[in-house]
Amino acid sequence: NAGVMQNPRHLVRRRGQEARLRCSPMKGHSHVYWYRQLPEEGLKFMVYLQKENIIDESGMPKERFSAEFPKEGPSILRIQQVVRGDSAAYFCASSPPGKTEAFFGQGTRLTVV
């Protein structure tokens, strides 16, 4: 059973471009979470999704950030018009229904130049 797969592992974007981060949860997991880790900081919760639904987006910035988890395919975290302050590691985690134990991917390290 492959773990949580995130791609790309590293992403470089110029200011103003769009960044799309993908996350494939573990097999059988229908819950996906996105976290952001700024340098030398802990992880900050962004959004919690189930298939086709956003359950909790209390940690998402109000503008430029969006997330989806379609019926088919990976979850996508989309950042429009990136700025230098968006540079961070973005981690995805997944869990099966009814369980709170979350398994993390290796992260996507976004660098905005």
Residues that bind other proteins (CB under 8 A): 4, 6, 31, 33, 35, 40-45, 48, 55-56, 58-59, 91, 93, 100-107
CB of 97 to other proteins, least distance (A): 11
Are the C-beta atoms of 71 and 81 separated by less than 8 Å?
no
DSSP state of 4: -
What is the rounded distance in angstroms from the CA atom of residue 13 to the CA atom of residue 52? 28
CB of 36 to other proteins, least distance (A): 11
**For residues 13 and 94, which CB has a smaller minimum distance to other proteins in the complex?**
94
Residues facing 111 on adjacent strands: 12
**For residues 66 and 106, which CB has a smaller minimum distance to other proteins in the complex?**
106
**For residues 33 and 65, which CB has a smaller minimum distance to other proteins in the complex?**
33
Residue 82 exposure: Cα atoms within 13 Å on the Cβ side: 21
CB of 17 to other proteins, least distance (A): 24
What is the rounded distance in angstroms from the CA atom of residue 91 to the CA atom of residue 109? 9
